[in-house]
Structure 1
Amino acid sequence: MKTDIISKFEGIYVAMYSVYDDAGNVDQARVKKLARYYVSTGIKGLYIGGSSGEGILQTVEERKQVLEAVMEEVKGELTIIVHVGANSTRESVELSKHAEQAGADVISAVPAIYYRLSEAAVENHWQQMIDSSELPFIIYNIPQTTGFNLSIPLLTKMAKQEKVIGVKMSGESTFELQQFKEAGGENFLVFNGPDEQFLAGRIMGADGGIGGTYGVMPELFCELNRLFVQNKLAEAQTLQNKINGIIKKLLGYPSLYGACKYILSIRGIETGEPRFPLLPVREADQASLIELNKEIEAAIAFYAKE
């Protein structure tokens, strides 16, 4: 029987960005520096190799290199969830086994993309990952990019397994989030995916959040979570609105990930440009991103005084 899953894994997880050198190759030294940066921000852990980490754009070996660097730097200090989803089940299983060998805490995966797969195909895809290691498994539901929306019957079936401990709900419906929480049961984790509705997700039953924009303002999401836990909902709504203003500006650039990575570079943390087809930051946008970084840092400083 699943016990203490919520208390063990709930909280704020940064969906860690890709980290390359100036030639576009995975840079393990830079990976370590970025992972170390997040240790003191108050987050629970890191989500490695997901959308923000460009896992789908990397080779299996590159994804292994990233995880190995993260584990060498922050193992035992942060909880590490590894996205092992790939288009082929064989590669996904290989990544699952590697995550266990590297000492990760949890594995997670989207369905395979491109093909419009049946529920039976997706279930088999996930099940082979689950069976390949002893690590807990978190389903990753992001229908707007995969074309597959997790159904309640499939979730209910999979949640009965000891190793299936939760779902990352990146769909846009908080009603579905609440339904997933109800279907999974008391000791089933639900992570909110859409950063702009973190508070709404928590109110509807999410146990924490995993997000990409967290990476440039983890302190603000930790504070937002704290305000929710303390039932200071009016203050929490004010902070969510502030965060959403920042997210709206980030989404105004040709590349969200390029903008976030450029902000980190302003802070002295080089992660390289996103990998094509994702676009880098345009030179014309750099000045406004410098100003946006000042806005974010001012908000972090303000809430640090509270």
Structure 2
Amino acid sequence: MNRDDVAWSGYWPASPTPFDAAGAVDVDALAELMELYARMGVDGVLINGSTGEWFSQTHAERKLVAEVAVSAVSGRFPVLIGVSAYTADESRRLAKHAASTGADGILATPPPYVHTSADETVAYYESVSTATDLPFMAYNWPRGVSVDMGKIPGLFARIADLENVVAIKDSTGDWLNMLDTVEQFSSQVRVFGSFLHRRGLAALLELGGDGNIDGGGVGAPFGVPFYRAVAAKDAAAAQEWADRYRALSGALINGDYSGIHASPIPQLKAVMNLLGQPGGQVREPLLPVTDPNIIEALQAIIDRSGIAEATEHTSKEFTHVH
């Protein structure tokens, strides 16, 4: 397989997993969230990625979340299932289950915590990516696993050459290094990275790159029309949407993907709840945002962003019909 075997591009949310007040997976809220993404016209969705709090779910819960999401999306846009785990065996089992649900692809980081070497990382990806016939996306997430694959000479080349690998999600905090990934590999695999700003627009129009997988999808009312404008080669419109997205995201997330007002996932769910979106609660070890000063600051960011108006525009223009 290679990049031409999939049509993955554009703006994708990395979906949170809604938990209810008792800490259980809220399947109704998760299905509602998929409907929200459909109304916003997203180009795909990642389930059980970092934002999905896979690390606090049981094996059975991860399967449930995958099943509910795939069923709710019902083929309207691609669904990737995150299968990151501490061992290749567990990731393979999750990958096989993802295939049984009808998912469109699978994604994984290197195993967290253990700081795998280049050979160990390749062995893990070779094992997991061949567990099924689904297209596979390798996820570079140095903040979460303390391995920056793009900075290890030759590693991305070895991974891109694996049979089922069709894409790389490069979430390094080093933007110039991400551009190296685009320049070297975007003719072979799809590259998702940080493009939702003017520098990213220039890269998309001249160098390459395929899309953003964005934590939570709060920025969808700006990100979806941005990528539609990029596809139309309408640089002026894309710049406008990029500036609006950047004004929102830059007030919430630092360049290293840490949160400005709280840790990223609790902050995201607080914003979603303020917007009336089905974000639900976080699960331990994360803690909910309860400080009224932080909540007030987040509301002020929402008010300044004009996101309500943009949501109405996006929903009218880009909704996926069931």
8 Å contact from structure 1 (residues 168, 193) kept in 2: no
Q: Equivalent of 1:274, from 266, 276, 282?
A: 282
Answer yes or no: is 1:55 the counterpart of 2:54: yes
TM (norm. structure 2) is: 0.85
SS at match of 1:216: coil
SS at match of 1:4: helix
Cα distance change, pair 95–200 in 1 and its aligned pair in 2 (3 A): farther
More displaced, 288-297 or 242-251? 288-297
SS at match of 2:251: helix
Q: How does 1:201-240 map to 2 (within 5 A)?
A: 202-203=204-205, 204-213=207-216, 215-240=217-242
Give the letter for the 1:77 counterpart. Answer: R
Q: Which residue of 1 aligns with 2:178?
A: 177
CA distance in 2, matches of 1:106, 1:200: 29
CA distance in 2, matches of 1:111, 1:2: 20
Q: Give CA deviations for 1:17-59 in whole Å, capped at 9, x if unaligned.
A: 1211111111111111111111121111111111111112222
8 Å contact from structure 1 (residues 195, 212) kept in 2: no
Q: How does 1:37-116 map to 2 (within 5 A)?
A: 37-116=36-115
More displaced, 49-58 or 154-163? 154-163
Q: Compare relative contact order (CA 8 Å, sep 6+) and give the higher one, 1 or 2.
A: 2
CA distance in 1, matches of 2:161, 2:121: 17
Percent identity, aligned pairs only? 28
Quote how far apart the aligned CAs of 1:95 are.
Answer: 0.7
8 Å contact from structure 2 (residues 122, 158) kept in 1: no
8 Å contact from structure 2 (residues 221, 307) kept in 1: no
Cα distance change, pair 56–42 in 1 and its aligned pair in 2 (3 A): same
8 Å contact from structure 2 (residues 11, 44) kept in 1: yes
SS at match of 2:173: coil
8 Å contact from structure 1 (residues 169, 177) kept in 2: yes
**Number of residues of Structure 1 aligned to a counterpart in Structure 2:** 304
More displaced, 215-224 or 283-292? 283-292
SS at match of 2:69: helix
Answer yes or no: is 1:300 the counterpart of 2:310: yes
| Structure 1 gaps, min length 5 | none
8 Å contact from structure 2 (residues 31, 72) kept in 1: yes
Q: Which residue of 1 aligns with 2:255?
A: none
8 Å contact from structure 1 (residues 50, 56) kept in 2: no
Cα distance change, pair 3–194 in 1 and its aligned pair in 2 (3 A): closer
CA distance in 2, matches of 1:298, 1:54: 27
CA distance in 2, matches of 1:299, 1:4: 36
Quote how far apart the aligned CAs of 1:132 are.
Answer: 1.1
Q: Which residue of 1 aligns with 2:269?
A: 261
SS at match of 1:82: strand
8 Å contact from structure 1 (residues 165, 189) kept in 2: yes
Cα distance change, pair 185–255 in 1 and its aligned pair in 2 (3 A): closer
8 Å contact from structure 1 (residues 48, 81) kept in 2: yes
| Structure 2 gaps, min length 5 | 253-258, 318-322
TM (norm. structure 1) is: 0.89
Give the letter for the 2:125 counterpart. Answer: W
CA distance in 2, matches of 1:144, 1:94: 25
SS at match of 1:107: strand
SS at match of 1:202: helix
8 Å contact from structure 1 (residues 258, 280) kept in 2: yes
Q: Give CA deviations for 1:250-303 in whole Å, capped at 9, x if unaligned.
A: 243213322322232234333322222323112413333333333342451696
